[in-house]
């Protein structure tokens, strides 16, 4: 490992994320199925066998002069989703052609994984609802009639998840040691309203509920928020340097209207972001679609608490509105990288650099996750041009020292009767044990640690798979 190269890349990335000026513009492309194309794999291979996906990342990291990468941006491991029997993905090589990226399958309104009259049960205990109601519905095996298949799917799914996250940690280490490449993100977050739309009621079901029972939707979002914050913190970078990835889906106009955003989406999301910032974490707002209408709301967040990634929004408008407070990334159209000429790619990169990146606080990337439709030569052009043109004469790459102000707000996460991170509280378990002759605190500690495994298993299925 060349420690000097690694440190330069990492500090360059950190400095930009803190909205300051590094020595040059950091390049952090979210390359997914593109890695398969470049490394000579099919989409099926990198989606179904994550070890092939890891190899593809390593090859790209060796050949491209980037500053940070996601250890595996093909984030849905279909080997695990098949083991669990999940219904909501089309798998390359099975339901769809092997060179097509995995697809999310929206359930028909009448077959939504949560019924319109089940909000009270979700609100009462989200973890129990997920395990008892939601999981059997989204899994053809766990929800099937064969008892053996049910139990086996749970065992296989849990063991597969353990193996994957263990190997993911080893991949981060390998990236550092073999190709001097920092990991770009750590941790996962989605908005409460997006969880209901994506994995429970479906988009149509959610829209109906927002009109017929908005109070129930709000209460459900308020109860989901502390759990989503807990999972984000449990999966975050222990050193508090990398941002927690927040994938933004259906919470913007026109998917919902501005009143619904202001009354439900934002009041239940903002406290999560503030809680993460209080704990020392930035959040990467991966704003899929166009969120320009909501920039005034995002401006109310603490300075530097987020990195804002631009997809379909107007990156020049975004820079003008929020660029003084937050780092901006992305903005290079995926269509341009797929069909554009060399001149067109260079010209657009120059336009973005000149207008958005001149004072620092910008990270080069495509607008959206880069799939296998991108031309290899255009990704090279974006990389090489940025490296040559995006140099700051007054920048720096010395070790970045975090400078944060304590931040307090009136917005607090809802206090729940059952603490997030817990499936069955020790107080309930203790009632089953008649006599303890030894150290009860030891027994409690180990029980609590193991109980947490069950909690993270079910919430990771909801959020990551």
- Is 399 inside a domain boundary? no
Q: Is residue 76 classed as helix, strand or coil in its secondary structure?
A: coil
Q: Is residue 257 classed as helix, strand or coil in its secondary structure?
A: coil
Chain centroid to CA 116:
27
Query: Which pLDDT value is given to residue 395?
Result: 73
Cα separation, 187 vs 241, in Å, equals 11
pTM of the model: 0.95
- Is 403 inside a domain boundary? no
- Is 170 inside a domain boundary? yes
Cα separation, 122 vs 323, in Å, equals 39
Prior bond of 456 cis (ω within 30°) = no
**Of 446, 443, 421, the residue nearest 430 (C-alpha):** 443
Cα separation, 398 vs 264, in Å, equals 42
Tokens of 391: 């140099």
Instruction: Calculate ∠ Cα 199-101-306, nearest 5°.
Output: 60
Query: Which pLDDT value is given to residue 299?
Result: 97
Query: Which pLDDT value is given to residue 405?
Result: 60
Query: Which pLDDT value is given to residue 394?
Result: 79
Cross-strand bridge partners of residue 246: 189, 285
If one counts the domains in the chain, the total is: 1
Tokens of 292: 């320009």
**Of 279, 283, 318, 320, the residue nearest 301 (C-alpha):** 283
Q: What is the CATH number of the domain that holds 68?
A: 3.20.20.210
- Is 246 inside a domain boundary? yes
Residues lower than pLDDT 50 in the chain: none
pLDDT digits (tens, 9 = 90+) for 169-188: 999 999 999 999 999 999 99
For 375-395, b/e burial (b = at least 16 CB within 10 A) is beebbbbbbebbbeebebeeb
- Is 247 inside a domain boundary? yes
Sign of CA dihedral 19, 181, 465, 456: negative
Instruction: Calculate ∠ Cα 241-454-52, nearest 5°.
Output: 60
Tokens of 159: 């063991």
Tokens of 367: 């607008």
pLDDT digits (tens, 9 = 90+) for 390-412: 999 877 766 655 666 666 666 68
Average pLDDT score over the chain: 95
Cα separation, 72 vs 63, in Å, equals 16
Give residue for tokens 């089940």.
118
- Is 136 inside a domain boundary? yes
Cα separation, 228 vs 59, in Å, equals 34
Cα separation, 50 vs 79, in Å, equals 8
Query: Which pLDDT value is given to residue 460?
Result: 97
Pairing of strands 306-310, 283-287: parallel
Cα separation, 37 vs 128, in Å, equals 41
- Is 306 inside a domain boundary? yes
Range(s) of the domain holding residue 424: 3-394+408-464
Query: Which pLDDT value is given to residue 434?
Result: 85
Beta-carbon contacts of 305 under 8 Å, excluding residues fewer than 6 positions away, are 273, 274, 276, 277, 282, 283, 326, 407
Tokens of 323: 């660029």
């Amino acid at each position: 490992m060349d420690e000097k190269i690694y440190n330069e890349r990492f500090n360059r990335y950190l400095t930009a994320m803190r909205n300051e000026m590094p020595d040059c513009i950091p390049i952090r492309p979210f390359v997914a199925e593109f890695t398969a194309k470049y490394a000579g794999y099919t989409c099926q291979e990198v989606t179904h066998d994550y070890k092939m996906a890891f190899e593809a990342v390593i090859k790209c990291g060796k050949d491209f002069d980037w500053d940070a990468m996601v250890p595996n941006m093909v984030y849905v491991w279909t080997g695990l989703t098949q083991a669990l029997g999940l219904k909501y993905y089309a798998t390359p090589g099975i339901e769809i052609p092997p060179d097509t990226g995995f697809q999310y399958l929206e359930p028909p309104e009448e077959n939504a994984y949560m019924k319109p009259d089940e909000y009270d049960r979700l609100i009462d205990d989200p973890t129990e609802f997920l395990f008892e109601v939601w999981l059997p519905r989204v899994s053809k095996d766990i929800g099937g009639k064969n008892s053996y298949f049910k139990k086996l799917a749970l065992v296989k799914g849990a063991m597969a998840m353990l193996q994957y996250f263990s190997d993911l940690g080893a991949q981060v280490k390998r990236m550092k040691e073999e190709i001097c490449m920092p990991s770009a993100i750590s941790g996962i977050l989605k908005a409460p309203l997006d969880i209901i739309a994506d994995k429970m009621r479906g988009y149509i079901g959610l829209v109906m509920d927002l009109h017929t029972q908005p109070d129930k939707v709000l209460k459900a979002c308020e109860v989901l928020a502390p759990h989503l914050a807990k999972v984000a913190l449990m999966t975050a970078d222990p050193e508090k340097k990398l941002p927690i990835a927040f994938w933004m889906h259906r919470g913007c106009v026109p998917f919902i209207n501005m009143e619904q955003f202001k009354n439900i989406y934002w009041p239940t999301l903002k406290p999560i972001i503030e809680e993460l910032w209080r704990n020392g974490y930035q959040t990467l707002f991966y704003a899929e679609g166009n969120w320009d209408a909501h920039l005034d709301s995002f401006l109310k967040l603490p300075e530097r608490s987020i990195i804002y990634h631009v997809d379909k929004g107007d990156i020049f408008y975004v820079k003008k509105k929020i660029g003084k407070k937050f780092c901006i990334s992305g903005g290079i159209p995926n269509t341009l990288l797929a069909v554009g000429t060399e001149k067109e790619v260079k010209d657009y990169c120059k336009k973005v650099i000149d207008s958005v990146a001149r004072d620092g606080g910008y990270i080069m990337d495509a607008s959206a996750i880069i799939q296998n439709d991108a031309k290899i030569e255009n990704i090279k052009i974006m990389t090489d041009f940025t490296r040559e043109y995006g140099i700051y004469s007054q920048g720096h790459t010395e070790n970045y020292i975090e400078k944060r102000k304590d931040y307090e707000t009136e917005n607090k996460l809802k206090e729940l009767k059952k603490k997030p991170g817990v499936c069955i509280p020790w107080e309930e378990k203790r009632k089953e044990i008649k006599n303890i002759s030894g150290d009860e605190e030891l027994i409690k500690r180990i029980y609590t640690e193991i109980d947490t495994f069950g909690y993270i298993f079910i919430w990771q299925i909801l959020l990551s798979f």
